[in-house]
Amino acid sequence: MNTKTKGKWGEEKAVLFLIGKGLKIIDRNHRTSYGELDIIAKDSDQVIFIEVKMRSSNFLGYPENAIDQRKKEHLMNSAEEYLNDHPELGENWRIDVLSIEGSPKKPKIQIRWFKNAISSC
C-alpha cells in the first residue's frame, strides 16, 4: 500500500473519530498558498483546523513529533488565510493535531487528540 493510500485511510479514520466526538466537518484537504489543511471542523461556535499525522507504528517516533516549526508556521498561515476567505466563520478558532498509529492491515489503531496543539505563542 502506498503512502497516499495510507494517508487517505488515516484521514477517513480521523473524520469518523471527530464526528463521533460531536464535531461537524466543514471542509477537507483544502489547499492554501501555504499548504494543505487536512480537516476543518466546527464544535459549536469554534472552528478547528486539524492536522492528521499517521504512522504504522511508533518505531521511528510518535506521529505528532513529525510537526516541526516550519509546519507549525504553515498551519498557522493556512488557517488565517482560510478564515480571511471565510469571514462568516468568525474569529474563534484553534489548531489541533490528531495522531494515528496503525494501518489498514492492523485491526487496532491508536488515536491521540492534541487540542490547541499549535498556537502563535
Each residue of 49-60: pLDDT tens digit?
Answer: 999 988 776 666
Structural contact between residues 42 and 50, judged by C-beta atoms closer than 8 angstroms: no
Segments forming the whole domain that contains residue 9 = 3-118
Q: What is the pTM of this model?
A: 0.90
| CATH number of domain containing 100 | 3.40.1350.10
Structural domain count, the chain: 1
The pLDDT score that the predictor gives to residue 58 is 66
Residue 67 to residue 48: CA distance in whole angstroms: 17
Higher pLDDT, 104 or 22: 22
Each residue of 22-56: pLDDT tens digit?
Answer: 999 999 999 999 999 999 999 999 999 999 988 77
